[in-house]
Structure 1
Amino acid sequence: MRDDAEHIEQEEHWVSVSDLMAGLMMVFLLVAIVFMVDAEIERNKISEVAVLYDRLRTQLYQDLLEEFEPDLERWGAEVNPDLSIRFNRESLIFGRGESDLSLAFESILAEFFPRYMRIITSDAYREDIAEVRIEGHTSSGWLGQTEDEAYILNMGLSQERTRSTLAYVLNLPAVSNQRNWLKEHMTANGLSSSKPIVDSTGEEDGERSRRVEFRLRTDAESRIAAMLEEQDL
């Protein structure tokens, strides 16, 4: 009888342990399901933000193109789907090796920039613009210098050109009411010859490489990064 009682007690013990393990597995399963559901919700949010900003970029590109297309050839400029506007006819913007704006480029900027600001600070886009980048680009050469020396010298030249451009547009009377917004969002970036324009054969197009670009960055990247950080937390 004693052996039977011990046997029954052991069986009851193992049944209790089995029930406990089954309960724990159910808890872990529920936690895993909740985690997967939350992760799916966050992925959907990120996807929705990406789709939203892709549509916004497409519409903004169309608005910029529609506004400036009649003037692009005259300005030696182009509007690109990546939301950059290139002024790449060097003879109109700077003298060779100089950082002071030409009178022709000042005239172009006075015509271009207020219209540009009217679009990007409209109710449709204002809250979604994270940065207005003025980029200065050069060709890779510098007479009498090694490749590395030319790169450094061109870095200084491209930075000076962007500063000259920024100072000019910031002080245009036509955008004076947007000056505070511009100081919060506009940057000047000299990139030397790091991003040359190449022709169909892969050779550098020196004339088009020497350019100034206005480039917009939306806050889609920062919003998606914030969502990912929330997931990590």
Structure 2
Amino acid sequence: MSNPPPAGRPDRESIKVACSNCSLRELCMPMGLSDDEMARIDDVISARRKVKRKTALFRSGEKFHALYAIRTGVFKTCVVAEDGRDQVTGFQMAGEIVGLDGIVNDQHTCDAVALEDSEVCVMPFDRIGELSREVGALQHHLHRVMSREIVREHGVMLLLGTMRAEERLAAFLLNLVQRLQARGFSRSELVLRMTRQEIGSYLGLKLETVSRTFSRFAEEGMIEVHQRHVRIVDTQRLKAILAQPGGSF
């Protein structure tokens, strides 16, 4: 039996991909590219990679080779805390890019694990870097992606540093729905691919607190919950929980 390929490189089962024909192009690629520029990007981002549920796309400490645009599925990024537990640092979905953590020191500083069977487009970083210097829109787009990550991290710091449990969970649910809506999904219904434990790890809350807060939101008629299916019944009341100093995400 052959050994699996390094996590940062496509394997033999990788599938040929064309960004120009992808329905998620508007989410992970810059707009307004010429046909020639789009063809050059197609040539660089030439493969997809399937990642099974609970399997790592890459691990902390591995050599950084590429960025990955998520085509289907959901990932979590996590690091090992001082007490040995996994600390979830983010959840990423279709149209978003993972792997930016590896740029600084040429190695990944977190794990990226699929929460369901997923597929990513492999973006070899050396070739993307070369092309971005020639295609200004691509370089600007990469800078925007990196800036968005910085803003997100600041939002998480605010979330964990100043918000009560109710505010944290309300912000989390509203943020998820907003991101899903941008991908053409319902503005009020979602399926949580992450566990309550993982949500708690991300929000800095105990599992019992997450479960209790979900129950409270349901009892007060703000949401309906059936296992991992959640329907936002009263968006305005969830937003009202955040309508106070520091209550943003």
Length-normalised TM-score, structure 2: 0.21
Length-normalised TM-score, structure 1: 0.22
Higher relative contact order (CA 8 A, sep 6+): 1
Structure with greater strand share of residues: 2
Structure with greater helix share of residues: 1
Structure ID, larger Rg? 1
